[in-house]
Amino acid sequence: MTYKALLITGQESETISTLARNLIPVGGLSLFARQMKQMFAIGVEELHVVTDWFIQDFEKEILKCSARPGKVFIHATKDAPLRLLDHNQAEDSWFLIEEAVVIDDRVIDYLAQHPSPTVVSLLGPHDFLASTTANAMPLQIDECGCYFGSIAKLSSGTLAANLRKLNSLDALPAALKAISRASDCVTVMLTDIPLYIPKRRREVDLVWFPVIRREDGDKGSDMLLEATEKATVDWPARYIHRHIENLLVKYICKTPLSSGHLTLTTAILGFFLIYLFINGYMLPALFGTYIVAILAGASDKLGQIKRHISKFTGYVPFLDRLVEYGWYFSIAGSLSTSHGAAPYVMAAALALFQVADHIQSRFFLRLTRFDICDTGSFDRKFQLIAGCRNTHIWALLPFALFDQWYSGLGFICASGIITFFVHQLRVVYHLKNIMIANRDTLTDTFKKARKI
């Protein structure tokens, strides 16, 4: 089965202001570039764009976007039905995308994974704010007033049966109504899509926003940025870093800078701070760690809203830990002249217990699909003060101001060790509850295993 996509945008009867809607930037990308990247992410091999205007602008966007479907075709309105028929093969699965709407990745993934060959996404009349649905495409299906969810999946047969209506925005509502009556079609409500995202540690509202005017691009960017926020974070990230990160991302996303640039800058600055710590420039280096922490958070958010996967993405966790532990050992090195080997012992203990905590947290996540810091009410509250890079560097500040670096290093070492044991107790507690809740299933599995 081959995935293909169809985007209808810019008809002869429309005004110039309407025609450019798909070229409005949202989150540092034009809507068209965002749609290409979303289709590429689910494995779409061909994208067909139906338009009569701004063809050169669309071609420029195609050339600029590296993460796009392998083949992108632009068809004139009159030629589109015949061209689409030529490209439609028996086993193809098509995605029909509404123009100029910011669509959540979860909506696209939900339709792509749906077992039915033809699926039309719908919005209820009260699923989103009236100001948002005011620009939605109304549909009358089974005497039920609703709105088009901006994406549909079509089988090759359903596409072929409705080709004459799929080259015009004016005819699209009638085409969708006919598609919904096809024998292989089911309709799904966007409200059926699960909202919980493990990486965000919270339920995240679906992003669905029609872009009508250029100023709507900023509103769409704000929605995408809000969706990147994690719920369970340490206190510096929640009360200090978050606001600065969001401000940075809002401005940086409008520039050519990518998350890769920020990641590289963060790594270089982080290693430079190790040099400063070793050479005794302790307070300037400590303030530099706050900049690194904020840039690291901004880099992650920028990559998400720009849909940019950096070449360094796979190395980021390793680099973060290498830099963080480098800070601890460089502080220890600076203190060793007056305190001997004790600072090195504390730095090593802190690093080892943090590595052990990371291992047990990953084990719990793979076993339960939940992060240990987001499993219960106590875990979420404890995460505010749990030992990690952000809490450690901010905990050092009062000690640094009074030149008590040795005591500060001892304090964050104790914090890291306590965090490890608290998480270990919580892992045991939660696994015990899971085993009790699934006792019958585990017993059956054990009995079957004994027979093998």
pLDDT tens digits, residue range 366-390?
Answer: 888 888 988 889 999 999 999 999 9
Fold match flag (2-197 vs 228-437) = no
Q: Tokens 């089965």: give the residue.
A: 1
Question: How far, in Å, CA of 156 to CA of 167, rounded?
Answer: 16
Give me the numbers of helices (H) and strands (E) for the chain, helices first please.
19, 14
Q: What are the boundaries of each domain within the chain?
A: 2-197, 228-437
Is the per-residue pLDDT at 132 higher than 50? Answer: yes
pLDDT at residue 13 in the model: 46
Choice between 288 and 138, residue whose per-residue pLDDT is larger: 288
β-partners of residue 180 are none
- Of 119-133, 237-251, 392-406, the one with minimum mean pLDDT is 119-133
pLDDT tens digits, residue range 190-231?
Answer: 988 988 887 887 888 899 999 988 889 999 999 999 999 988
pLDDT classification of 286: cutoffs 50, 70, 90: very high
User: Cα 94 to chain center, whole Å?
Assistant: 24
pLDDT at residue 449 in the model: 55
142 contacts 133 by C-beta, under 8 angstroms: no
Determine the CATH number of domain 2-197: 3.90.550.10
pLDDT classification of 144: cutoffs 50, 70, 90: confident
pLDDT classification of 169: cutoffs 50, 70, 90: confident
Question: Which alpha helices (DSSP H) does 253-402 contain, by range?
Answer: 259-278, 282-305, 316-339, 342-368, 377-383, 389-401
Residue 410, φ and ψ in degrees, nearest 5: -65, -35
> How would DSSP label each residue in 60-84?
HHHHH-SSS-SEEEEE-TTTHHHHH
Is the per-residue pLDDT at 300 higher than 70? Answer: yes
Instruction: Look up residue 315 and give its DSSP letter.
Output: G
pLDDT classification of 136: cutoffs 50, 70, 90: confident
pLDDT at residue 12 in the model: 46
Question: How far, in Å, CA of 77 to CA of 171, rounded?
Answer: 12
Q: Is the domain 228-437 a CATH 3.30.1240.10 member?
A: no
What amino acid is encoded at 370 in this protein? F
Question: How far, in Å, CA of 166 to CA of 392, rounded?
Answer: 58
Q: Tokens 């300037």: give the residue.
A: 284
Is the per-residue pLDDT at 19 higher than 80? Answer: no
Judged by DSSP in three states, 209 sits in strand
Q: Tokens 């990518």: give the residue.
A: 258
Is the per-residue pLDDT at 432 higher than 70? Answer: yes
Judged by DSSP in three states, 437 sits in helix
- 355 CB contacts (<8 Å, ≥6 apart)? 321
pLDDT tens digits, residue range 71-116?
Answer: 999 999 889 899 999 999 999 999 999 988 999 999 999 999 999 9
Question: How far, in Å, CA of 206 to CA of 187, rounded?
Answer: 18
Question: How far, in Å, CA of 451 to CA of 250, rounded?
Answer: 60
User: Cα 55 to chain center, whole Å?
Assistant: 30
Choice between 7 and 144, residue whose per-residue pLDDT is larger: 7
